[in-house]
Amino acid sequence: MIVVAKIGTSSVTDDDGWIDEGAIEGFVAGLAGLRAAGHDVVAVTSGAVAAGLPVLGLVGDRRPRDAQTLQAASAVGQGRLMGVYDRAFAAHGVISGQVLLAPLDFGVRSQYLHARGTLRRLLELGVVPVINENDAIADDEIRFGDNDRLAGLVAHLLDAGLLVLLTDTAGILTADPRLDPSASLIEEIVQVDHALEALAGGAGTARGSGGMASKVAAAKMAAWSGVRTVIASSSRPGVLADAVAGVPGVGTVVLPREAKLPARKLWIGFAVPAAGTVRVDDGARRALLERNVSLLPAGVVAVDGSFEADAAVEVAGPDGTVFAKGLVRVGASLLRTLAGRRTADLPEGTPHEVVHRDDLVVLP
């Protein structure tokens, strides 16, 4: 079985951002134990930005907020972070290899397949890939989203059997323990719904970029991929072995869906960033949800964003709630002129489908 295990910034650095070598050694020991038991393992690690800041003297009141300085800090911190991983794995006789991924690697199909081939070859060679976001060159923002979602994408990419998201809490709790001392662990989740997403809340620590909401999003992605997810505390002894063994109470287990999406639709649904939104009327919404049909221009009522043909877009109902995602066959400008038209009224040569059903992913 392939196990993808992600550990967050707050678990691998101290309050000032210095790398906690003992924490990484413990994480690596758990991964090495899984390898010895016959599993392939992939590590996804955060911490490069945080690790670079104290080296540059940018801590406390001097902590920067601008993207370029944070990216520069990641360039300084990533090498130091990887050096700790190299030494920790070497102590177990294991070779590790750095893999830095960027949005392009998930947003372009050819890059996506190339990344999968490289990771699979590393595993065949007995190497443990240590993956991080390529923060130093990421455009737009400092991160693709966060490393929880990155780990979910990697689990999907490799058809993993288990995704483990390690954090600084026991898992998903019934309430914020800082506000409610009686909060208790939710041990099993059958389906990620809006209530759970609302419970997960917002961002996490000042040093990290995720929080429980991003872990729930990653677990949802994994569930649609047919991958079981465990959200657990990085400080729990034997946490990785217990997660693989399915020990009760190890953390929050998010069960995979019985019917998983095919690989192409998983790629559309979770790997490709949306370039805009197409809003449809209620009739089109019901048809897409219930009948597995293509989206036609007649059902479109509004177009938000600027995108070209073949871009990924979200599909929203009349109330603005997104319920699907797909690849459009026409660009935004042309689509605005076609919105609401019946097929017989379309100009000659215009695609009859806005989104073909083979390129549409419904995720209610």
DSSP state string for 215-246: HHHHHHHHHHTT-EEEEEETTSTTHHHHHHHT
> Is 332 within a domain?
yes
54 phi, psi to nearest 5 deg: -65, -30
Same domain, residue pair 246 and 282: no
**Residue where one domain finishes, among candidates 264, 295, 329:** 264
**Percent of the chain predicted with pLDDT > 70:** 94
Number of domains in the chain: 2
Q: What is the pLDDT of residues 174-203, one digit of tens each?
A: 887 778 888 899 999 998 877 787 777 654
> Is 286 within a domain?
yes
Q: What is the pLDDT of residues 33-53, one digit of tens each?
A: 999 999 999 999 999 999 999
Same domain, residue pair 249 and 282: no
Stretch 73-77: mean pLDDT: 93
Neighbours of 313 (CB within 10 A): 26
Q: Which of 70, 100, 83, 84 minimizes the C-alpha distance to 206?
A: 70
**Residue where one domain finishes, among candidates 220, 241, 264:** 264
Same domain, residue pair 76 and 202: yes
Q: DSSP label at 167?
A: E
Length of the chain: 364
**Ramachandran sector of residue 312 (left: φ over 0; alpha: ψ -120 to 50; beta: rest):** beta
CATH of the domain at 321: 2.30.130.10
Angle between helices 147-157 and 212-224 in degrees, nearest 10: 10
| Average pLDDT in the chain | 90
Helix (H, G, I), strand (E, B) or coil at 201: coil
Q: What is the pLDDT of residues 82-92, one digit of tens each?
A: 999 999 999 99
Same domain, residue pair 44 and 115: yes
Same domain, residue pair 259 and 344: no
CATH of the domain at 134: 3.40.1160.10
Q: Which residues of 150-175 are buried (b: 16+ CB within 10 A; e: fewer)?
A: bbbbbbbbbebbbbbbbbebbbbbee
Task: State the Cα–Cα distance between residues 78 and 48, nearest whole angstrom.
Answer: 5
Q: Is residue 349's pLDDT more than 50? A: yes
**Percent of the chain predicted with pLDDT > 90:** 67
DSSP state string for 4-23: EEEE-HHHHB-TTS-B-HHH
**Residue where one domain finishes, among candidates 264, 291, 314:** 264
User: Could you tell me the two tokens for 10?
Assistant: 């707050």
Same domain, residue pair 53 and 182: yes
> Is 98 within a domain?
yes
pTM for the whole thing?
Answer: 0.85
Full domain range(s) for residue 84: 2-264
Q: What is the pLDDT of residues 245-286, one digit of tens each?
A: 999 999 999 999 887 888 788 888 887 889 999 999 999 999
> Is 269 within a domain?
no
Same domain, residue pair 153 and 22: yes
Helix (H, G, I), strand (E, B) or coil at 99: strand
